[in-house]
Amino acid sequence: MNFEYNEDQLAVKEMAKTFSETELMPYASEWDQKEIFPVETLKKAAELGLAAIYVDDRYGGSGLSRLHAAIIFEELSRGCVSTAAYISIHNMVTWMIDTHGSDDVKKRFIPKLSTMEIMSSYCLTEPGSGSDAVALKTKAAKQGNSHYLLNGSKSFISGGPTSDVFAVMCRTGEEGAAGVSCLLVEKGTKGLTFGKQEKKMGWNSQHTSMVNFDNCEIPIDNLVGNEGDGFKIAMKGLDGGRVNIAACSLGGARAALEASLNYAAERKQFGKSLDKFQVTQFKLADMATELEASRLMVLRAACALDTHDKQATKLCAMAKRYATDICSEICNMALQIHGGYGYLKDFPLERLVRDLRVHQILEGTNEIMRVIISRHLKTN
């Protein structure tokens, strides 16, 4: 067991840190307040290989590991949680196509996804099926050998109206997981429409909306994997997505801890700086300890994905549950250390609290993480 990053991992970490500090951190507050989706910045991230991190280099991916991705997402989210999280979702879709798509599908989509010439969304949730994702109703009916006719609606879709390609889990067969397939729906398809841009508590640098399909004709060639593979593909995608989202929580909590260390050294009350009070020292010590524990779980889960460990699904769920809960608490403690100033938009704390809150809900709620963990307790 080796707890040191190797030279290659350190180089990737440094690259992501520099990008985050120069291209994300200075603009995160403005993007949040004005709800700006920073397309040009995302394309710059893609130039560094960050849009297809753990995707084969054959069609333009970076060919790195899940461990690299976890390191990268911690750094990016230290600069802007919401933008890093969108990059994470785009990577999840690109990976799903690379791992399960035909050569034709890979050739058509991955080069453009790798450069972010096209942006992607992951479409699983529906108005009537959130946690119970397998109950999804969006239906794709095969019409001869040329196309499917797609009907239904997906809710809460990150990227929504700004995306160019949508990985849609839909029903091509019977009730249950075996009747679900994954289809790629392209922007411009007749019958594809979007709901209003949702007004959210956080994650404001990426847009979220419903995505509706009204008799959309989707070419059979846009099927990812075989008919009936969709639910498995969606769940495998989420294993990695959960590690990335957990890593995004690490970056947000690290930013909050760093801000607190600076603030506690500067702010004086009762004739001394806050960091001279033992209560503040203990808070900071707990925050740093819990951040380190979360990081260890995230890196462990990422390694489990890289080695195809049979415990990977459980470890990803554990890391997501623990890191997203604990890192949210760290941000909240950081806000408390900042007193009233923590509540103002002049400081990053209130944004960090808002941005991390949703990590406890999406990619499977933390209650559903416990369901997954408890299901796997006896199998290892």
- Annotated catalytic residues are 363
Of the candidate residues 123, 185, 248, 250, the single one contacting ligand FAD (CB under 6 A): 123
**Distance between start and end Cα atoms, the chain:** 20
Q: Please, are residues 309 and 315 in contact by the beta-carbon 8 Å criterion?
A: yes
Nearer to ligand FAD, 130 or 152 (CB): 130
**Contact region for ligand FAD (CB under 6 A) — 10-18, 171-179, 281-289, 364-372?**
364-372
- Residue 83 within binding range of ligand FAD, rule CB under 6 A: no
> How many CB atoms within 10 Å of residue 146?
10
In whole angstroms, the minimum distance from the beta carbon of 236 to ligand FAD comes to 15
- Residue 358 in the binding site for ligand FAD (CB under 6 A): yes
Considering the complex, what minimum distance in angstroms separates the CB of residue 307 from ligand FAD? 27
363: CB partners within 8 A, 6+ apart: 238, 241, 242, 245, 320
The helix (run of H) or strand (run of E) holding residue 201 is none
Q: How far is the CB of 102 from ligand FAD (least distance, A)?
A: 23
- In the bound state with ligand FAD, the residue whose beta carbon lies nearer, of 81 and 123, is 123
SS (H, E, C) 56-96: CHHHCCCCCCHHHHHHHHHHHHHHCHHHHHHHHHHHHHHHH
Contact call for residues 152 and 139 (beta carbons, < 8 A): yes
Q: From 101-109, 116-124, 256-264, 278-286, give the range in contact with ligand FAD by CB under 6 A.
A: 116-124
The candidate with the shortest Cα–Cα distance to 83, out of 123, 25, 33, is 25
Q: Which helix (H) or strand (E) holds 141?
A: strand 139-143
Task: Give the shortest CB-17-to-ligand FAD separation in angstroms.
Answer: 26
Question: Under the criterion CB under 6 A, does residue 156 sit at the interface with ligand FAD?
Answer: yes
Which one of residues 50, 140, 157, 316 is an interface residue with ligand FAD (CB under 6 A)? 157
Residue 371 sits in the site that holds ligand FAD (CB under 6 A) = yes
Q: How far is the CB of 200 from ligand FAD (least distance, A)?
A: 6
Side-chain-facing half-sphere of 340: CA atoms under 13 Å:
0
What residues form DSSP beta bridges with 152? 213
Is 319 strand, coil or helix?
Answer: helix
Give 65 or 209: the residue with its C-beta nearer to ligand FAD. 209
Tokens encoding 11: 């180089």
Token couple for 152? 């239904």
Nearest distance, CB of residue 205 and ligand FAD, angstroms? 12
Q: How many residues bind ligand FAD (CB under 6 A)?
A: 22
According to CB under 6 A, which one of 11, 104, 367, 375 is a site residue for ligand FAD?
A: 367
Q: Are 206 and 161 in contact (CB under 8 A)?
A: no
- Report DSSP letters for 156-195, one per residue: EEETGGG-SEEEEEEESSSSSGGGEEEEEEETT-TTEEE-
> According to CB under 6 A, which residues from 202 to 241 bind ligand FAD?
203, 208
* 125 touches ligand FAD (CB under 6 A): yes
Which range of residues in 155-163, 250-258, 323-331, 372-380 is near ligand FAD by CB under 6 A?
Answer: 155-163
Any contact of residue 38 with ligand FAD (CB under 6 A)?
Answer: no
Binding residues for ligand FAD (CB under 6 A): 89, 121-125, 130-131, 156-158, 200, 203, 208, 358, 361-362, 364-365, 367-368, 371
